[in-house]
Amino acid sequence: MLSSLGSNSDAMIQAVIFDLDGVIADTVELYYIATKRIADEIGVPFDRRLNQQLQGMSRQAMVEALLGEKAGEWTKEEKVKLGERRGMYYRELIEQLTPHNILPGMYSLLQHIRNDGVPVALASSSSNAFTVVERLGVRSFFDVIVDVKTITQLKPNPEIFLTAANELGVDPRDCIAIEDGEAGIQAIKQAGMFSVGIGKHLAPLSPDWLVERTEQVTWEQLKRMFLKKRTTPLM
């Protein structure tokens, strides 16, 4: 029970903002499969480490990173078509998604946040975010889903997280944001939000709370960590 900490801890949390892929949706592997298919077609190396680094990037930034030293050999139009083909491969894969593809602990977390009346937003760089949350059966949990098409600068720029806070009508400093991508954690930090990082690969970025797996992020523990951060004197 967190009641011993008082309701002040709950009141300070004005919103929780989620990334989608690798946080709520078990889709990072689908991105890997779709991108690896493209990489094999054009003859460039690609592995899961690079796949993780690409999470949260725009489609065209992903293409540039995938091509690497060969990027100069491709025209802008060819790169656009490459990104579109990868998007097509990914959309074919997400058609198979069901609620079973929600990552461990995330449905329960969303339920508990909703039960406490704390607003929830989704800040995903994926153009398929609306489709994914519908297929996972979690659309009703979100008060706001930021339309990535309205965002001019994607992660690591904080715009998408700041937009989520603005649409909810809350102060970014009173928000918790949860990410599994390096670019996403950088964006959250720039937005001035409490950052929760999922995955050991994020340790060098020093999120406010780092866990290895999604099921470790419970609502009670999340409130405790947020309160601890708020009450720790600055050195």
Catalytic residues: 19, 21
Handedness of CA 189, 195, 198, 204 (dihedral sign): positive
Distance CA 55, CA 34 (A): 13
Residue 120, classed as helix, strand or coil, is: strand
Residues in the chain: 235
CA-wise closest residue to 132 among 38, 31, 45, 12: 31
Neighbours of 175 (CB within 10 A): 26
Q: Which residues, in sequence order, are bridge partners of residue 197?
A: 179, 210
Sheet holding 144-145, edge to edge: 144-145, 120-122, 15-18, 175-179, 194-198, 209-211
How far is Cα 14 from Cα 116, in angstroms, rounded to an integer?
11
Strand-pairing partners, residue 122, are: 18, 145
Q: What are the tokens at 171?
A: 């102060």
Cα separation, 219 vs 205, whole angstroms: 23
